[in-house]
Amino acid sequence: MNTKQSDKRITALYARLSRDDEKDGISGSIQNQKAILEKYAKDNKLPNPRFFYDDGFSGVTFTRPAFMEIMELAEQGMIGTIVVKDHSRLGRNRLVVGQLLEEDFVRLDIRYIAIMDNIDTEKGISDIVPMQDLFNEWHAKNTSDKVRKVMQSKGMSGKPLTTNPPFGYMKSPDSKDEWLVDEPAAKIVKRIFDLCVSGLGPTQIAKRLRSEKVLTPTEYWNSIGRKCSKPPVIPYGWVADTVSNILDKQEYCGDTVNFRTTSKSFKLKKRLERPQEDWQIFENTHPAIIDRETFELVQELRKNKRRPNRTGEVSMFSGLLYCADCGEKLYFSVTNNYKREQAYFFCSAYRKNSDVCSAHYIREKVVDQLVLESMRRVLWYVQSYEKLFAQRQLAEFSEKQKKELADKHRELDKAKMRVREIDGVIQKLYEDNATGKISDERFATMSMSLENEQSELKDRIPTLENELENAKVKTEGLQRFIDKAKRVTRLEALTSELVHEFIEKIVVSAPEYKDGKRYQEVAIHYNGVGIIREPTAEEMEEYFQEHISKKPFLKAKTA
C-alpha cells in the first residue's frame, strides 16, 4: 500500500472502560484515556485520528459496539492504525486477542499500538505479549471470581441481585436494594394478570395491549427517564414473550428471587436458567402488586394452557377435563357450523387413535350446567354449615389414613435416628480397624453394609417428609377453600376466574345407556379439598332443623 493511500485511512483511537474497572479504579476514566490517545496521535503525527469508545463493557467480550464498528471499517480497508492506552483495553481474552494480533490485523494491514505497554506491531511483536495476554485474562477471571463471591453473599442475604427492578417497581431513592411500587406500571401488571385469569393467553393479552395502545415496559421506562435498552420501533409493540415473562415473575407477590440464572464461564455473558430448586426465595421483602393466591392461580392456568381451536374459540373449562379411563385430557371442539351451543369435549387419546380409548363425549353446556349447580350447592353448604363441612372433609381422612400418618411419623423419626447411629458405628469400626481389633476385610464388609443401609434410609426420609407435608397441605387447603367460598355472595353464572379458582379438575367417565337414556358420571375435584360429597336433600333438611333447634328465637317463632 503506498503512502498516499495509507494517509487516507483512519487512525482509530480506542478506549474501553468496564464496570469492574470503574469500581477498582484500574484504568481511569474514558476522558482520561481520550486525552492520552489524542496527545499520542498528535505527537506521533498519526493520520486522520478518530475517537471510539465502549463505556461499561467487559474485556472478555468483543461484541462491543465501538469495537465492532472499528472492525467493520477495517474490513472495508478504512482503518490503518488502532491505538489503545494499554493492551488490556483491547481485551482480556487471550485467544481472541492473539487471533487479532497474529491473524486479523496482519490480514487487514493494520498497525496496532498499546502506548503504556510499549507495543507497536510495526516494530514486531515481543514474545512477552502472549504472557501479557495471559495475565490480562487471569485478571479478568480473578475480578469475575471476586464479583461472583460478593454477589453470592449479597444474594444469600436476601437483597435483590437484579440491577433493575421488574416492570411495576422502582428503586427507592434512599436505598438501591429497596423496591417501591411504580403505580402506573403496576396497573398494567395487574391488568395482565387479570386478563390471564379471565382466560386469555400471552399472545391474546399482547394483542389486547397493542390494540389499547399500552406502552411497552421499555417505552415506558424511556418515557420516565430510566436508562434502558433502545426502545422498540412501535411503542405499543407488546409480544407474547414479554407477557409470559411478567406472568412468571414471583417478585410480584412481594418476594425476592435470587440465582435464577448462571453462566458457564466468565468469558460468556449468556445467562442460563437454573433449576427452580436452586433458586433462593425470600418472601415478603417488598410491597406486593399481585396477591399470592392470584399468582398461584395464574401459574396453574399456564400449566394447563388453553389454546384456541381452529375456530379461535376457547372454553373456560379447557385444560380441566380428564378422561376417567385413560387419564388424558379432553379436547375442546366446535362443530363445523360454528354454533357455540354445539361445542363439546372428547378424549384426546381417542382423537389420535380410536382403538386406545372411547370418545367420552360431553357437551360444553352440560359441563357448565353441572359445575354451576355443584358450585352453588357447595358454596351454600360451606357458607351455611362451615363447621360441619370442615368436620366432614377432615373425616374423609379415615382412621386408617390417620394411623398410616402416625406410622409414617414414627418411621421418619426412627430413620433419622438410625442414620445418626450408623455414623457412630462406622466411626467405631474405623477405630477398631486402625487398632487391629478387626481385619480390613471384616471392616470393608461391615462398613459397606452399613453405608448401603444408611443410603437407603437417606433416600426414604425425603419421601416420608413429602407425604407428611402433603397431609399438612390438605388441612391448609381446606381452610383456604372455606375462605374463598365465603367471599362468593351470589353465583349467577360461571366465569373463567371462578372456575379456575375453585376447580382443580373434572373427570369424565364414558356414558352409559339404560332404558334408552344416556347417563354419564362426572367427578368434580375442588382445589385444596378434592371431591366434595354434597349433602342430599334429606340431609339438608336435617341440618336446617338442627340449625333451628339451636336458635331459641327462631324455634319459638316457627312453633
pLDDT per position as a tens digit, 379-408: 888 888 888 787 777 766 545 556 666 777
pLDDT of residue 462: 82
Q: At residue 338, does pLDDT exceed 60?
A: no
Q: Do the Cβ atoms of 114 and 87 come closer than 8 Å?
A: yes
Length of the chain: 559
Q: Which residues contact 29 (CB under 8 A, 6 or more apart)?
A: 17
Cα 32 to Cα 297: distance, rounded to the nearest angstrom: 55
Highest mean pLDDT: which range of 152-156, 246-250, 307-311: 246-250
Percent of the chain with pLDDT strictly greater than 90: 17
Range of weakest confidence among 132-136, 240-244, 446-450: 132-136
pLDDT of residue 471: 59
488 or 186: which carries more pLDDT confidence? 186
Q: At residue 270, does pLDDT exceed 90?
A: no
Please compute the mean of the pLDDT values over residues 460-478 and round it to a whole number: 68
The C-alpha angle with vertex 512 and arms to 509 and 516, in degrees rounded to 5, equals 150
Range of weakest confidence among 121-125, 259-263, 361-365, 526-530: 259-263
365 or 273: which carries more pLDDT confidence? 365
Q: At residue 95, does pLDDT exceed 70?
A: yes
Q: At residue 473, does pLDDT exceed 60?
A: no
In b/e form, how buried is each residue of 168-200, taking b as 16+ CB within 10 angstroms?
bbbbeeeeebbbbebeebbebbeebbebbbebb
User: Measuring CA to CA, how many Å separate 242 from each of 247, 248, 303?
Assistant: 9, 10, 18
Cα 505 to Cα 345: distance, rounded to the nearest angstrom: 14
Please compute the mean of the pLDDT values over residues 521-544 and round it to a whole number: 78
Q: Where in 465-516 does DSSP place strands (E)?
A: 503-508, 512-514
User: Measuring CA to CA, how many Å separate 241 from each of 202, 210, 298?
Assistant: 7, 14, 16
pLDDT of residue 48: 92
Q: Which residues contact 281 (CB under 8 A, 6 or more apart)?
A: 250, 255, 256, 257, 258
pLDDT of residue 49: 94
pLDDT of residue 102: 83
Cα 203 to Cα 78: distance, rounded to the nearest angstrom: 46
Per residue in 183-222, pLDDT (tens digit) is: 999 999 999 998 887 778 888 899 999 999 999 888 888 8
Q: At residue 344, does pLDDT exceed 70?
A: yes
The model's confidence at residue 46, banded by pLDDT at 50, 70 and 90, is very high
Q: At residue 7, does pLDDT exceed 70?
A: no
Q: At residue 247, does pLDDT exceed 80?
A: yes
pLDDT of residue 143: 59
The model's confidence at residue 10, banded by pLDDT at 50, 70 and 90, is very high
pLDDT of residue 25: 42
Range of weakest confidence among 105-114, 330-339, 345-354: 330-339
Distance of CA 456 to the CA centre of its chain: 33
Highest mean pLDDT: which range of 226-240, 329-343, 353-367: 353-367
pLDDT of residue 558: 46
Q: At residue 109, does pLDDT exceed 80?
A: yes
Please compute the mean of the pLDDT values over residues 500-527 and round it to a whole number: 87
User: Measuring CA to CA, how many Å separate 381 from each of 166, 392, 434, 537?
Assistant: 42, 11, 71, 12
pLDDT of residue 2: 45
Please compute the mean of the pLDDT values over residues 102-115 and round it to a whole number: 89
The grid cell for 207 is 394483542
pLDDT of residue 442: 83
pLDDT of residue 554: 46
Q: Mean pLDDT in the chain?
A: 79
Cα 290 to Cα 439: distance, rounded to the nearest angstrom: 65
